[in-house]
Structure 1
């Protein structure tokens, strides 16, 4: 399993670096250490109309913010690599992200939530920073592949993690159904990425091999 098990209660407070301080956790639980950020999403407006819960709206807002960060990275791929396998993977992920972005925006409009992005300017888990995009723009070939793989893996793992939390804690049927699709697509993309980006073994040679 790639994803961490999320809390069964998705607290509507984002307690991750770069997103500012929020109100205390109403559950009274202790936040995980920085190396394993909690699967939580940002606060949603208390006045959200219709059958959407604050958790549903918060997850949709985070999904929009994450997709908007990843798409500029995927748009770099055709100019930074000629490898058909990497181009194909980037195109597949881009198609999924654009579809999810459109669907999330449509659901947010249905919910009556503000159209503004509450995560604007925040660097959160799974998001590519402006500095990292600058580094990507200067890379080509294998170095670009390594950087791209790291960013894709971080994004897909975090998107899957919070989508599982939405499935468990959300209440709006179309939104939780979308979360299920995000989990399935994320796992499929991670499997394709693993085939392209196999880790290189760093184990020392055995005594027999050394002789």
Structure 2
């Protein structure tokens, strides 16, 4: 499933994958559905529900990096930035759901999706030492940041709720900045 892009995942979610069944009239297009509570469209909700586990998995990677006293100082600085910034984002993302009267669905729980740093990956990273740890963690962060950026851009091109678009814009900006800190490739 790693090869699946976030755009495809976002499209599947907004089309109803894992969501409530379409209760519209027979023959009605599911693309023209009533927005959920709080004026959020299915695209807005899908973005929030995907961004939350993406952030949580990156926070776990940041915590692992920060536990390593001998980690590369640049990697530690990145992990500190992720740790502080993503916690604020999580509060905002969860706040959007709360304000809309929605609860988190966890429909992505346990999925090996692009942008997620899985428990298995974290366990393997935890076993790595020195430069191998640093390089593998950089690559995990890089993959996460790229996919998170793609998901944010999908929201910016298709979302409608102002609060969610603002979050998407902030995530796009921070992911671009963090990718810059990691440098090429």
1:65 aligns with 2:65: no
Aligned length: 164
1:50 aligned counterpart, secondary structure:
helix
Between Structure 1 and Structure 2, which shows a larger proportion of helix residues?
A: 2
Moved more, 85-94 or 184-193: 85-94
Counterpart CA distance in 2 for 1:38 and 1:104 is 18
User: Normalised by the size of structure 1, how large is the TM-score?
Assistant: 0.72
Question: Is the 1:59–1:163 contact (alpha carbons within 8 Å) kept by the matching residues of 2?
Answer: yes
SS at match of 2:171: helix
List runs of 5+ in structure 2 lacking aligned partners.
23-34
What is the aligned partner in structure 1 of residue 133 from structure 2? 144
The answer for the alignment partner of 1:115 in structure 2 is 104
Match of 2:167 in 1: 178
8 Å contact kept, 1:80–1:137: no
8 Å Cα contact 2:59/2:82 also seen in 1? no
User: What is the CA distance between 1:112 and its match in structure 2?
Assistant: 1.9
Alignment of 1:26-105 (within 5 A): 34=3, 37-39=5-7, 40-41=9-10, 42-43=13-14, 45=20, 48-82=36-70, 83-105=72-94
Residue segments in structure 1 that go unaligned for 5+ positions in a row? 1-16, 19-33, 200-211
Change (3 A) 1:150 1:81: farther
What's the offset of the Cα at 1:178?
A: 0.8
- For 2:5 and 2:164, locate their aligned partners in 1 and report how far apart those are by CA, in whole Å: 23
Superposed displacement of residue 38, structure 1 = 5.0
What is the CA-CA distance between 1:81 and the residue it aligns to?
A: 4.5
